[in-house]
Structure 1
């Protein structure tokens, strides 16, 4: 059983979120905590000039609202929204928060993963704590 679980959230598939939360709740020790984490990728400077003035603030607020909804739907869970590179930022947050488990969803591997790697692959390879990967 784990006392500090991080569940990185990508909003592309609600069924993966539900599956990850179910696993996290099953592996959570009594009195343990679950944190939903979403990483907003940094927008390159050459792109930011073409976006509306309040794009980052409104995106952050919309993601916060979705995470609040998810956290309440799956029982007591906290949530965080952080900006950065997804794989590295998940690992940094896990280390600084003292996480002992990361429950992360993964897509089916394809050619692009052999060449570029995925967030889940990066987390599995470099994590200092246990990682549970869902497909």
Structure 2
């Protein structure tokens, strides 16, 4: 059983989020903590000039509201919203938080994943703790 579990999510498929949270709760030690997290990818400078000034603030606020809703619906869990490259940022967050497990969803690998690597694959290869991958 694990006492500090990180569940990184993307908002593409709520069924996958629910599945990851079920697994996290099954693997959670009594009194353990689950943190639902999302990484906002950095927007390139050449793109940000074409976005409305309040875009990032409004986007961050909407994502924060969704995280709060999901953490409540699939909780109990805390949540975190961080910015950066998804794979590296998940690993940095897990290390700083002292996580002992990361529960992460994955998709069927395609040609792009073979050339560039997926977020889940990056997390598995470089994680400072155990990783449970859901497909």
TM-score range, shorter chain: over 0.9
Residue 105 of structure 2 is matched in structure 1 by 105
Residue 59 of structure 1 is matched in structure 2 by 59
- 3-state SS, counterpart of residue 108 of structure 1: coil
**RMSD between aligned residues:** 0.5
Partners of 2:120 and 2:75 lie apart in 1 by 25
List alignment gaps of at least 5 residues for structure 1: none
Partners of 1:50 and 1:15 lie apart in 2 by 33
Residue 82 of structure 1 is matched in structure 2 by 82
The residue correspondences of 1:38-53 to structure 2 (distance < 5 A) are 38-53=38-53
- 3-state SS, counterpart of residue 76 of structure 1: coil
- 3-state SS, counterpart of residue 88 of structure 1: helix
Partners of 1:56 and 1:131 lie apart in 2 by 31
Question: After the TM superposition, which segments of 4 or more aligned residues of structure 1 sit over 2 Å from their partners?
Answer: none
Shift of the alpha carbon at 1:75? 2.3
Residue 122 of structure 1 is matched in structure 2 by 122
Deviations 1:95-130 (A, max 9, x none): 000000000000001111100100000000000100
- 3-state SS, counterpart of residue 50 of structure 1: coil
Residue 31 of structure 1 is matched in structure 2 by 31
Partners of 1:35 and 1:75 lie apart in 2 by 9
Kindly tell me the number of residue pairs found equivalent between the two proteins.
Answer: 135
